[in-house]
Structure 1
Amino acid sequence: SNSATKYDVVTGVQGGAVNASIIASYAKGSESAAASRLKTFWDNAANTELFKDWRGGLAQGYAFEGGLYNSSPMEKFLESELSDITKMNRNLNIGITNELSGKINEFTQDNILYGSNLTNALYASMSTAGFFAPVDAFGSDYYNGSAIWNLDIFSGVNKCLKRHAESDVVIDVILTSSSHLKKVDPSKNTTLHNAARYLQVSNYYASMNAYLKAVDSFPNATFRYLVAPLRHFPYIQKPLEMSQDEVDEIF
């Protein structure tokens, strides 16, 4: 593996928290194996029903449940899919949002593998408020950390600063949003189309703002690569609803 990608610290939000956790479970020098494991995870996710309709359909989800869809299959998938992760080999930071307090609950390489922490933290990380109910764990209700930040650059840099000077810190950022917003024709949009478009626009600006804030806050660090798709990812009406062809296109 190229030494340029032998990261000491990895962070992630939403689905990126899963990616970060998988990468952190591999030792430096095993980046190719980690990338293959990431592809396997998302291949399996694309071929698994990660959520389902409530028995009473969207009306039940809207009026009586915490989310439009029942995400219980996702919890079982994560338990099974990530059962091979037994050790963290890099510094890690992921965060989920406490619905009651509005604060972030962070997990690191030191506590993510305690008990069911890994499954619960990543289940919450993949739970988008409104679409899925908050996850009942850690004595409260949680959904993904994007309510607080879309990019967790600060946690990664702060871990590096405990052992290195700011001028020695090199940062790469990988976005799932394109480097520019695509224009769309909303005339035939359904409610779910509009919700998905809202998330697309919101995530784009939140990510850009977080990146620029980090650049301003760490002027002596090297922000080396900002990686974004050259083309827009396939338009997904519902979170995590991807086909195998769409996963192949992304990777």
Structure 2
Amino acid sequence: MRTRGFGIDFGGSGIKGAPVDLEQGDFAAERLRIDTPDPSTPEAVAEVFAELLSRFPSDGGPVGVTVPGVVRHGVVHSAANIDKAWIGTDADALFTRATGRDVHVVNDADAAGLAEVRFGAARGQGGLVIVTTLGTGIGSAFVYDGVLVPNSELGHLQIDGHDAESRAAASIREEENLSWSEWAERLTRYYRTVEMLFSPELFVVGGGVSRRSELFLPLVRIQTPTVPATLENRAGIVGAALYAATSA
């Protein structure tokens, strides 16, 4: 596998990219951020990707890109929080044409999961690791013995008649002004359901709120060992670069 890669993390407000050292699992140069265009159509975003890549020396290697949606064989199949024009777009082909680089697109939570298993909180852990990202919604990644099982979308499990993320996402804690203990009760219900269905070896909890994990993770009452993510806002870029390097 290559020792250097390039990752781009596409989000609702910003597009961030950096070259990645795939031996250390960290940025090989300072990250660059460009505002996400409005509207954030695939074509408009492709132009930003080309601009972003032009700011760095090119080694001609593959580029990984995160997308907040279901991705199968480079085609985006859902767009809950991005422009609906993404649905049905062959993003791999579009971005490869726009940038002149070999581009591979991956779900954003899946990218974070790959990064945490290879370089972060789950490094060296065998069996099934489930990485969840608690944010506006709940993202998830299944990684079994280091191999990604993509598009798990566990934030959309139906629990007690509700879409799980509509009750337990970090954004809901803020919107409903829940205390940490009240939110932990909802997380306990969520993780117990996932635990019952899949019996993982480890849960890794990511998202920006993981930086305050000491306030809620000890209150989540489940049997599976649970740890906070360690790569924080680097996980998307690092995971995307790793995905591209192993997919090329």
Q: TM-score, normalised by structure 1?
A: 0.32
Q: Which has the higher strand share?
A: 2
Q: Which has the higher helix share?
A: 1
Q: Per chain length, whose mean CA-contact separation is higher, i.e. which structure has more relative contact order (CA < 8 Å, sep 6+)?
A: 2
